[in-house]
Amino acid sequence: MRIHTVPTQPIAGQKPGTSGLRKKTPVFMQPHYLENFVQAIFDGTGGAAGKTYVLGGDGRYFNDRAAQVILRMAAANGAAKVIVGRNALLSTPAASNLIRQRGTDGGIIMSASHNPGGPNEDFGVKFNGPNGGPASETVTETIFAVTKTLTEYRMLDAQDVDLSRLGSSTLGAMAIEVVDPVADYEALMASLFDFDKLRALFAGGFRMRFDAMHAVTGPYAKAILEGTLGAPAGTVVNAEPSPDFGGGHPDPNPIWAKTLMDTMYAEDAPDFGAASDGDGDRNMIVGRHAYVTPSDSLAVLAANATLVPAYAGGLKGVARSMPTSQAVDRVAAQLGIACYETPTGWKFFGNLLDAGRATLCGEESAGTGSDHVREKDGLWAVLFWLNILAERKAPVTQVMADHWARYGRNYYSRHDYEAVDSAAANALMDAVRAQIEGLPGRAVAGLTVEAADEFAYDDPVDGSRSEGQGLRVMFEGGGRLVLRLSGTGTEGATLRVYLEALENDPERMALDPQLALGDVIAAAEAIAGIKARTGRGGPDVIT
Ligand code: G16
């Protein structure tokens, strides 16, 4: 088999965002586009020669073709071995686990996460390092720098590899091992949670609905929930991964998982509902008639962690992204453990987990995880909740009511303005940035600003500094407004407005969050002039 050195030119705009490079699929399918980026990954990480990688993706359109290209390029670049999920499928947390378990040099994950898939939707590629986590900003900056000077890439002249059959083969001089995408992940879950208790829970008639949203967690949830834990057949719905996610938007929130919400708010609702996203790292938790926000979910997991075998010895610390509500901070304070505040992006948790400073991490964007892998993990969060419910023998509504009674309630919501004109979105951020210094002490919409800044993070482990990570305004009484532009969108700019209000009055724990947040919403409009600047009457998505 011949190795070709293919001449190419730098392609503009290959800058990885919050989590890898995400673009419209037709962009990724342009000549040289994928190839340039993959070569930049290899070159930007010291070359592929002699290295072992994990490869898999969420099964979206172009996943299968991209996998063959990446394998041929890995072989041409001298990689020793690639471990691939069957049919090039691996959920993001399962890939993270394989990278760690097999002690590989990293992995390439093909996914645009919760973004829709299909010939005209989104595709993405990201590199995870040897610790199993998304590459740090330093590494992604190096990869981006390489894309700007690239003049050639290497490609092996070879037929497609049969990725449907488990086992070992070779591609040129490179070894390929096709593995069951579920097996190692399930073994990991069994080592963390009390599977006997969970089997007993389902045997006792506990009813659950898991919506896999036609995405990658279908096979995982079927195998673990219905297969191993004995939940009745039909517990997992939309379980067959499809290249366009059944035409849906595989983002587990009350808007995109509306059918699940309808089921969970019906008269005869099951006891517990959950969903996961395109690549299986996000989760949504909903009890009977009780949606749990991701921020509250993180706080509940932290407060109840010692009920779960893996965390019975207590937590070393917790971490949340800056826009995530401060509910977990209150738990950490009572537990007497550290609570870290990081920029948005799972990559920022890696150092804290590696250094043993944090055990649990979470984000408002429906991600929760722990030191068992270096990615957020959707099904893990679901099993964590099930383990807590099995121990506490209480419905989700009760768990939440008890939690708020003890710690107070951080009402929370995120308003998204999608596909906004980029210049208008940047002008809005600039306008707020210009006000920041003068805000403290000012009264806005009935609230008094206590502090305001542009968030910057100094990593306590490696000393690196990340600036420009969102504008935040803190109000007296614990309320907060955060504004930032998304780093995962593929069209224009997405403005995210994060809203939070603290309530300690036991009589006011069951308000409609949008009402409870009324003052903060009004303050956001007064400070940022969102309607005028975006030309929108209101947010596109409220979660
Ligand atoms: C990615 C990152 C998350 C981040 C989320 C939202 O999630 O892994 O850490 O919170 O994007 O980012 P943004 O607000 O910039 O759109 P995923 O699930 O898309 O990989």
Q: What is the pLDDT of residue 18?
A: 78
User: What confidence score (pLDDT) does residue 325 get?
Assistant: 98
Residue 387 near residue 197 (C-beta atoms within 8 A): yes
> Among 91, 111, 113, 297, which one carries the catalytic annotation?
113
Which residue has its alpha carbon closest to ligand 1 atom 1?
Answer: 19
Strands 167-171 and 152-156: unpaired
Ligand 1: which atom is nearest the Cα of residue 484? 14
Which amino acid does the sequence have at 503?
Answer: E
Q: How far is the CA of 344 from the centre of ligand 1 (A)?
A: 7
Comparing CA positions, the residue from 52, 60, 57 lying closest to residue 120 is: 60
State whether the beta carbon of 543 lies less than 6 angstroms from ligand 1: no
Please give the backbone phi and psi of residue 24, each rounded to the nearest 5 degrees, phi first: -60, 145
Query: Is any atom of ligand 1 closer than 6 Å to the C-beta of 486?
Result: yes
Structure tokens at 474: 């803190």
Pocket lining: 282 vs ligand 1, CB cutoff 6 Å: yes
CB atoms within 10 A of CB 444: 19
113 catalytic? Reply is yes
Handedness of CA 475, 501, 433, 18 (dihedral sign): positive
Q: Which of 196, 190, 163 has the alpha carbon at shortest distance from 85?
A: 163
36 lines ligand 1 (CB under 6 A): no
Residue 394 burial by Cβ neighbours in a 10 Å radius (0-12, 13-18, 19+): middle
Question: Is residue 420 within 8 Å of 539, Cβ to Cβ?
Answer: no
Instruction: Decide: 241 and 214 in contact? Cβ < 8 Å.
Output: yes
- What's the 488 CA to ligand 1 centre distance in angstroms? 6
Query: Residue 11: CB partners within 8 Å, gap ≥ 6?
Result: 32, 33, 36, 147
Ligand 1 close to Cβ of residue 113 (< 6 A): yes
Distance 297 CA to ligand 1 centre (A): 17
Could you tell me which residues come within 8 angstroms of residue 258 by beta carbon, excluding any fewer than 6 positions away? none
Concatenated DSSP letters for 407-440? H-EEEEEEEEEEEE-HHHHHHHHHHHHHHGGG-T
Instruction: Find out whether 363 and 321 touch, Cβ atoms under 8 Å.
Output: yes
Q: Which residue has the tokens 């392609």?
A: 11
Q: Say yes or no: CB of residue 469 within 6 Å of ligand 1.
A: no
CA distances 123 to 20, 319, 323, 366, Å, are 10, 29, 26, 20
CB atoms within 10 A of CB 487: 15
Q: Is the CB of 281 under 6 A from ligand 1?
A: yes
Distance CA 261, CA 277 (A): 15
Residue having the nearest C-alpha atom to atom 6 of ligand 1: 365
Q: What 3-state DSSP class applies to 464?
A: coil
CA distance 542 to 481: 15
H or E element: which one contains 388? Answer: helix 378-392
- Nearest alpha-carbon partner for 84 in 47, 56, 52, 46: 56
**Distance (Å) from CA 541 to ligand 1 centroid:** 16
pTM, rounded to two decimals:
0.95
CB of 344 closer than 6 A to ligand 1?
Answer: yes
108: CA distance to ligand 1 center in Å?
17
- In the chain (543 residues long), the average pLDDT of successive 10-residue segments reads 94 91 96 98 98 98 98 98 98 98 98 95 96 93 97 97 97 97 97 98 98 97 98 97 94 94 97 97 97 97 98 98 98 98 94 97 97 97 98 97 97 96 96 96 96 97 94 97 90 94 94 96 97 94 90
Going from the C-alpha of 93 to that of each of 42, 189, 302, the distances in angstroms are 22, 11, 20
All domains of the chain in start order, with CATH: 3-180 (3.40.120.10), 185-407 (3.40.120.10), 409-542 (3.30.310.50)
Q: Residue 18 CA: which ligand 1 atom is closest? A: 15
381, 406, 222: which is closest to 303 by C-alpha?
A: 406
